[in-house]
Amino acid sequence: MGLHVGELAWVGLRRALVLAVALVIGLSAAAHANRPFFPGSRASNPESAVRFSDPSVSRVIYYELSSRAPVQWFAVESERPQELRIQVGVPAGVSRVAAAPGIVLFGPGFAGRPDGLSIDPPQGAGGVALALRGGPERFFEPVTGTESVILGEASVELPEAGTYYAAVYDAQGGEGKLWVGLGQREAFTWRDIPRFPGWIRKARDFHELPGWPRWMWIGGAASLGVVAALGFWVVRRLLRVT
């Protein structure tokens, strides 16, 4: 009897593992989104900039410009000359968004300073103002269930190895929310799976949306149903054995 119970327990464990893998595969659809960062208004100077080690990895930074923090920063460490791709958007349907976002990139290999810029470059570095192309374009992000307006994108060659700082601001001096997407290469790992619910919640808060996306409710209900059916099946088999 002990052997049969052990075999049944092993079958149940295997089925539970299959369920867990299925859930992971479902959540891994979020790998099509950028890895998110939520500094809000806390990256208001080069020292507190959101920092990244690889400009090619896909990321999105959620900022909020305010009267106390009209400029937000991020920094990328580049080990070689390479292209940096940037996309800028605002949450759709939110009352307070940046009207005319601008980005200036400072770092080695850039000479001079953009005209009319009142932002002090870090450590006296030269800078270049990025011109956004394309847009506006509506974009629905299915993992978080949020909608944005992509205002445009830009690409710039980082001419040397070193640290590059980017200042994000509103050209009209306005306040509000905006996000900045960087890179293209997806780099999610299995360790990120437990973080997805928190990321989704913060992204929806940024877009001022309550609750969870619809797919999470559907997936959660389906998962509970599978777990209940599995538990019922295991109990029945155990009762038959005993």
pLDDT in tens, 68-92: 999 999 999 999 999 999 999 999 9
User: How far is Cα 235 from Cα 11, in angstroms, rounded to an integer?
Assistant: 12
Both tokens assigned to 157 = 């060659």
User: What's the residue count for the chain?
Assistant: 242
The pLDDT score that the predictor gives to residue 235 is 60
Percent of the chain exceeding pLDDT 70 equals 73
Tell me how many degrees the CA angle 72-143-25 measures, rounded to the nearest 5.
125
Confidence label for 24 from pLDDT (cuts 50, 70 and 90)? very low
Residues 6 or more apart whose CB falls under 8 angstroms from that of 152 comprise 87, 88, 132, 133, 134, 135, 136
pTM of the model: 0.76
The pLDDT score that the predictor gives to residue 236 is 62
pLDDT per residue over 42-70, tens digit each?
999 999 999 998 898 999 999 999 999 99
The pLDDT score that the predictor gives to residue 123 is 79
User: How far is Cα 72 from Cα 66, in angstroms, rounded to an integer?
Assistant: 10
